[in-house]
Structure 1
């Protein structure tokens, strides 16, 4: 993939200046960056990390998943990073981690997460449920999702051979394993600015729905994406509020409405879309491309449509 920067004023005289691809000195770089950027692994979705290289013991010894997280639905996220070309055994390695994680109880997940929070001094002295609710901006007293109902597996590497991606595609299509392959490339301009490209070649929204078949055995039609994700979320909010800027709504309200109307829609992206369009959301900076001002956060987990006349940011 070629990456360019615009040189000069953005007009018809502007030129494209090539940014050369550069190699990572070691895989820890991208691991560090993603740990610090919980919005970057999956487009339009945030992941709360609960450990990095945890000591996962099995019958044959100890294994170390690179990054370990939980999504807004309580699903566990396991990420394996590889520098350069992905080795042939990476899928087996990732499935080994999955076998370990699949047996974790909620209590064990809480213990892992709280130890990580203490170690990194991110959320010192707080329990997992409180942190989860805050991170995903859930209203006070909203019931949290059950943990570990599903696993989401990711291979992140600078080069992923077709043999590896083909196996992952087979696992997704034939065995409903939620496994994704993400290509990462680092580019550097002549001024030293570094750009990172992350592309999901297997997984994300490009693959068939992985949910089990309904009782009638007929799969749910795949969402065609005739509307963008942002527009789908905004339409749902408009329907919930009927355009009334005094009516409150939550992420759960929006998710429920969209799920009922578009069952195959990727619900895990909705919270990030609302944050991106929320004028006063504290994580809006994670979505620098968001220029739309749709929503106003009135308290944790509760929103209204943005009223430019009355809703003012504090100086």
Structure 2
């Protein structure tokens, strides 16, 4: 859609330009302007950090980190390009990284940001006021979700297709397009939210809900077969744990090699066993336990090395495990 000026009862078309040709830089100019007027792209949000990078890889930086009125974290990524350049993948990684932030940690991050912009204010007091928490933190209501806002001069079809697909699966990603125009010596910027379209947002919420209901219906038809082992009933995950623990108790392996000889790693993709520290790092990265790490579940050898058993078992790999258990002499009976 073109923009026109109205002069002397006539319309004069204002030509588009590019940020690059106008010498407008991504961080120094665009990011600085947006953080001071965040409502332009993210209404009802508060910026708590800029160039946030508090993880081991200092090359990864969130352009702007904010929170909204519901206490959700908001990852904001900026590009001045015409395609967005895979920024949705970058933002997803960042969202996962900040998803475990507590209110206390967010307060520390925000206080550091306030100091960097020479504002002598109390971060916790500002956050409590912004969130309408009535004088004291309600930490259980903080950071329950992470939203993503992508801001670019334009977006490729591949990116918008990916974002729409992800939004249908309960993520909250918005694409805001900044189109620069030049009117004599003045730069004008047209700000448009293109995903989801504001006028279609309520409809898209309904579509998302329908998609969730369909996926839930499919989940309700999943295989919930149970297995009898040593007089007890187990689901797939717990069966693997019970069999491995029983074998260890009666065979006393001294090394991981002995354990792998009994339960080869190729029974499942990614292996049956993994170093305990690696398993913990996977949990910290994704917030999901993919290995048994509870009390009494970690395998410890005499040399103090510790290993965790995968809990990722389903119809695609449980049969291989059961066949191997039977080779070892175990009786396992499938039940409904």
Q: What corresponds to 2:76 in structure 1?
A: 79
Q: What corresponds to 2:122 in structure 1?
A: 126
The 5 Å alignment of 1:34-53 reads: 34-42=34-42, 45-53=43-51
Contact 1:178 1:210 in 2 (8 A): no
Q: 1:77 to 1:204 in 2, by over 3 A?
A: farther
Deviation at 1:165, TM superposition (A): 0.3
Greater relative CO, 1 or 2 (CA 8 Å, sep 6+):
1
Q: Which whole-Å CA distance do the structure 1 matches of 2:137 and 2:55 have between them?
A: 31
Deviation at 1:133, TM superposition (A): 4.2
Q: 1:217 to 1:20 in 2, by over 3 A?
A: closer
1:54 aligns with 2:52: yes
Q: Please identify which structure carries the higher helix content.
A: 2
Q: What corresponds to 2:193 in structure 1?
A: 200
Of the candidates 47, 60, 64, which is equivalent to residue 61 of structure 2?
A: 64
Q: What corresponds to 1:109 in structure 2?
A: 106
TM-score of the pair, normalised by structure 1: 0.58
Contact 1:56 1:62 in 2 (8 A): no
Deviation at 1:198, TM superposition (A): 1.3
Unaligned runs of 5+ in 1: 9-13, 219-315
Q: 1:38 to 1:75 in 2, by over 3 A?
A: same
Q: Which whole-Å CA distance do the structure 2 matches of 1:61 and 1:131 have between them?
A: 28
Q: What corresponds to 1:184 in structure 2?
A: 178
The 5 Å alignment of 1:1-315 reads: 1-8=1-8, 14-24=9-19, 25=23, 26-28=25-27, 29-42=29-42, 45-58=43-56, 62-122=59-119, 124-128=120-124, 130-135=125-130, 138=132, 140-141=134-135, 146-173=141-168, 175-190=169-184, 192-203=185-196, 205=198, 206-207=200-201, 208-209=204-205
Larger radius of gyration: 2
- Number of residue equivalences: 205
| Superposition CA RMSD, Å | 2.9
Contact 1:22 1:187 in 2 (8 A): yes
Contact 2:149 2:174 in 1 (8 A): yes
